[in-house]
Structure 1
């Protein structure tokens, strides 16, 4: 990959898309992870002071907070911190007062509230400023639906959506993202100790290899194809029940 050409293209693409929409800038969440770091640096190159990064702690680890702060300090990114932990706990208590589910499903139910709260915060900020919301999902994650529906997948523009995870790493090195961010295990930070690869059951290297070549160990291919099939609804707009003309 020609990282210089890709970086310049994405900066130009982001400028053009926002201008076409008649918006004044962009807002995105900065988690302390590599994808949001790369997206934030590209967005700042495109929009300067009209790029706003929101750090949105929600029972987040100290490491993630530190890495998010490190990124905005290193690249002088205009940012705000909005603490969502108290809101999250209040909502969870309210929801579970009428419906509480234990076990793995219950943990995931609670965890998915976090990216949906962040989505609300990002759109509040974007609407107030006439900005667009930039997403940070990459091609690898989108292909298997590794995102919370109406959470981190609810954005106006997917800046990294045509980049495999390995290509995001290439861009990160080119852009000078701090090594602390590049080298840590990818995690959505949904709960303590959670990692992307642990939750997916495969590695990003295995996923990227399959997406490039269609090949992989049988058990890996089965996981990827199953996740892709089950997540198809995340990559489409909600279907409309078109009524046959003879019924109208």
Structure 2
């Protein structure tokens, strides 16, 4: 199938999901990155009159906010911005204060990062519940394989239209949609802290993850990293475990 045919098939799938769930529209959290850029374009095609791009900054860089707004304008999607910085600080400070000596300060950065993702999920579902929309996720095949998403955060969504796409295919779709060049050119990042990038955090590259998914040969050290990430994140891809029936 051509890129255009794959996109059309995905748009029709989104329409079918709306019919199946009897929902009125679709929304996505827009981060200023390539994955949410592609999803924003997809939901605009699938539900042009009832779609929404939600920008949820939590101490984000000004560059991310500029890119997120530019994306919404480029695909002509309605947007809503809700700054959650204060709420994130408030909860994090309260948890640390109440835990007192139990709080492990060395873990604060990762706690903060996951809290940001979960706060955004909570806000997205509050909006979606109010409008009777589906929350559309942005995870691609590489992120699902490695577990590069927060459980009950950016992994907490209703549907995942990019789930079968390699990262390089996401960029192909972005170029098809004429996503702004700033978004196409910048290093993928979840914007969790200053200088953070996906590849630095994972310890491998999207190129090698894509090749692994295609069954191609990659350096052994990268294969070890990818398989370790996959094993460690298995709990994110399955329902919570429960004991057997008595």
State if a TM-score over 0.5 links the two structures. Answer: yes
Residue aligning to 1:65: 65
Q: Unpaired segments of 5 or more residues in structure 2?
A: none
- CA positional deviation for 1:214: 4.7
TM-score, normalised relative to structure 2: 0.96
- Residue 49 of structure 2: SS of its match in structure 1? helix
Residue aligning to 1:27: 27
Residue aligning to 1:42: 42
- CA positional deviation for 1:167: 0.5
- Residue 87 of structure 1: SS of its match in structure 2? helix
Q: 2:156 aligns with which of 154, 159, 162?
A: 154
Moved more, 220-229 or 231-240: 231-240
- CA positional deviation for 1:241: 1.9
TM-score, normalised relative to structure 1: 0.96
CA distance in 2, matches of 1:173, 1:153: 25
Q: 1:178 aligns with which of 177, 180, 185?
A: 180
Q: 1:192 aligns with which of 177, 194, 206?
A: 194
The answer as to whether partners of 2:40 and 2:75 remain within 8 angstroms in 1 is: no
- Residue 135 of structure 1: SS of its match in structure 2? coil
State how many pairs are aligned: 243
Instruction: Verify: 1:85 aligned to 2:79, yes or no.
Output: no
CA distance in 1, matches of 2:219, 2:98: 44
- Give the root-mean-square deviation of aligned CA atoms: 1.0
Q: Unpaired segments of 5 or more residues in structure 1?
A: none
Residue aligning to 1:12: 12
CA distance in 2, matches of 1:95, 1:78: 35
- Residue 26 of structure 1: SS of its match in structure 2? strand
CA distance in 2, matches of 1:98, 1:197: 34
Q: 2:245 aligns with which of 236, 243, 246?
A: 243
CA distance in 2, matches of 1:180, 1:52: 21
- Residue 80 of structure 1: SS of its match in structure 2? strand
